[in-house]
A and B are shown apart, each in its own frame.
Chain A
Amino acid sequence: MQNLKRTFLGIALVTALFFGALPAGATEKLSKVEQLKTEKLAAQRGTVGQMLAEELLGENSGLLLTTYEKYVDAIAALRQQKVRAVIMDEGPAKRFLANVPGLAIMPEPLSEESYAIGFKKGNDALRSRVDEALEAMKQDGTLQAIIDKYNDNIDVNPEDIDLNVGAAGGKLVMGTEAGFAPYELKVGEGYIGIDIEMAAAIARRLGMELQIENLNFDALPMAVASGKVDMICAGISVTEERKKNMDFSINYVDGAKQVAVVRADDLSE
């Protein structure tokens, strides 16, 4: 029976530790981005959000910044009070706010970015063709129509998006990370979103078939550099750092805000 007692005690101890290890409540409510400089932050790995959080935290980023593979994980960490804010793009942040209770966006954005399509460094042949198609789509309003279509709406059937299957011009392989609504999302066995429809429209203009590879965001630069995919299109912000490793198309979205998502009860009025 001694053993049994010991077992019980051990299990009780582990359980107590498990439930007792809740983080302590925050002291001062958040009102300015400035305050986040000494707080635990989260971001999706490889995103501009991670870069901004690193800038904000400075030399403490090693200690205070946690990067996650998926936004859903980062938001879960925020709700469980493992971190105080998640730095991310405003588009997906708004969707989280609409669907997950208890979240808020800090009014002051961290930065504004432009999205563009990424290519392997030196792949000017494809880049100039895509640029041409993109420019034409900007001029005739196709691009704006796609962006408007996804305004507060992701109820789109993936089968309605014409990927130009069997086109004579061969395949245009696009790498993306389908967890970034309204830009890309996997629905059933297909994909929807602004980036998907835009890339499909580009492929149709080039007479090519669009093929989509759903990778992790931090694997995208590697995928395009290795030639595994022709281009990466995943709401990728143009930064000087990224320009060293890949070439970008012309911007297709400007003024995409980077914001800090926090818990609603942690934000001062």
Chain B
Amino acid sequence: MSSSLPQGRRGSTDRGTVLLVVCGLFLIALLFRSGFFAPASWQGFCAKFHQNFIEQRRYMMLVNGLKATLHMTFFATLIGLAIGLILSIIRVAHKGGARIGPLAAFANLYITVLRGTPVMVQLLIWNFTIFASARDLKTLYIAVLAFGLNSGAYVAEIFRGGIEAVDPGQMEAGRSLGLSYRVTMSRIVLPQAVKNVLPMLFNEFIALLKETSVAGYIGIDDLTRAGQNIQALTLEHSQPLVMVALIYLALVLVLSEGVRRLEARLRRSQR
């Protein structure tokens, strides 16, 4: 009946709004169910909130945890970018006929192993096996290294896809103009590739931000662990967890908005 009526743009917008509202209600129901608002009264909720986050400046535990999370994410991102770029160029150059067999084999092995094992297992191996005797090395640096090396493997594949997506004619044109392989690659192919993969790179780093939540396993008080530390102090289960989730969500939303704007900006420059 109503489905037989023609649907214009207007109809689909309405549906979108309805869906959004329903999802929102569902989320609120979830929060209720999870016990974030567990104490029946508003005063009870406020008292719990005060105990969990205000008393004895407990919010500072979250702030310091957030610092550790951002620290790990930022430096792991830098390491990941550097490694990813190098590995992808090795693989592309190898395919392009450069005689770097052993290097390419290493790059392949690296990507296979680091993408093929869970990051948490890698983290534990770095901390308790490889750096077992490095007692004066700060654990945070080990985590940065572990997350950075892991991210490098994913970034390598993103870059490789980006480079291969650039029209081969670009490389041929550069070479036929007398430019060396290196110059053509770095000045002509890579800039186009980077532009293509920027949104994907950002998504990788958003994923990395969330992945650092396992750092507590090697004794780093990151944002997730800070929430658990508050739980252990106040013996309150839900509020610290939901608060941690909301902080992650806020961070991801801000970063996602950045990606969205970046994408819009890139589309504009393409016209």
Contacts and interface: CB of A to CB of B under 8 A. Distances in A.
A99 B52 CA distance: 13
Interface residues on A, range: 35 or more
Contacts of B186: none
A186 B221 contact: yes
B235 A100 contact: yes
Contact of A228 (B26, B135, B231, B233): B135
A171 B233 contact: no
B216 interface: yes
A143 interface: no
Contacts of B33: 18-19
Contacts of B225: 214
B217 A3 contact: no
A227 interface: yes
Interface in B187-246: 216-219, 221, 225, 228-229, 231-235, 237-238
Contact of A186 (B127, B132, B229): B229
A26 interface: no
Contact of B232 (A2, A3, A181): A181
B148 to A, nearest CB: 20
B41 interface: no
Nearest to A176: B219
A72 B61 contact: no
B253 interface: no
Interface string A64-100: 0000001111011001000000000000000110011
Contact of B228 (A179, A213, A219): A179
A188 interface: yes
Contact of A187 (B5, B124, B133, B233): B233
A178 B57 CA distance: 18
A15 interface: yes
A11 B22 contact: yes
Contacts of A79: 237
Contacts of B2: 1
Given A181-B232, A222-B128, A15 B221 contact: no
Interface in B253-270: none
A173 B135 contact: yes
A227 B229 contact: no
Given A3-B15, A186-B221, A228 B132 contact: yes
A11 B129 CA distance: 47
8 contacts: A1-B3, A4-B15, A72-B232, A96-B235, A188-B57, A188-B58, A189-B61, A222-B124
Interface of A: 1-4, 7-8, 11, 15, 18-19, 70-73, 75-76, 79, 95-96, 99-100, 171, 173, 175, 178-181, 185-189, 213-216, 219, 222-223, 226-228
**Closest 8 interchain pairs by CB?**
A179-B232, A226-B132, A76-B237, A1-B2, A72-B231, A2-B3, A99-B235, A186-B229
